[in-house]
Amino acid sequence: MSIPVDVADLPAALADFDDGYLLTNTEGRVKVVHARPVLTDGVLRVSAPGRGSLANALANPAVTLLWPSRSPGGPSLLVDGTASIDAEAVLVTPDSGVLHVQR
């Protein structure tokens, strides 16, 4: 089951999650790295994700952030967004979010 999360409601939704993952994609290959995104002024900052993730985000700015459930059967949070690069960080402007619950 998927429950849409309005971008304006992300601060409240993120309070229920810890660390997550940044998913980038280029040339048909998905790269997943551990991330501790910080939301500031509507932008999620992922510091030091690694050279491969930075290169992927430059080549294809469509990215996804995933926060897994804290407990079995609980919801996961997925946020699709548009990435830009700032020094050694990926800045993600959220486009949409969804809580996903496995039923």
Confidence at residue 27, expressed as pLDDT on a 0 to 100 scale: 87
The model's pLDDT over 36-82, given as tens digits with 9 standing for 90+, comes to: 999 999 999 999 999 999 999 999 999 999 999 988 889 999 999 99
Do strands 38-40 and 43-47 pair parallel, antiparallel, or not at all (unpaired)?
A: antiparallel
With cut-offs at 50, 70 and 90, classify the pLDDT of residue 92: very high
Domains in the chain, start-ordered, CATH in brackets? 2-100 (2.30.110.10)
With the CA atoms of 67, 41, 15 and 25 taken in that order, what torsion angle do they form, in degrees rounded to the nearest 10? 0
With cut-offs at 50, 70 and 90, classify the pLDDT of residue 90: very high
Q: What is the mean pLDDT of residues 85-103?
A: 93
The model's pLDDT over 25-38, given as tens digits with 9 standing for 90+, comes to: 988 899 999 999 99
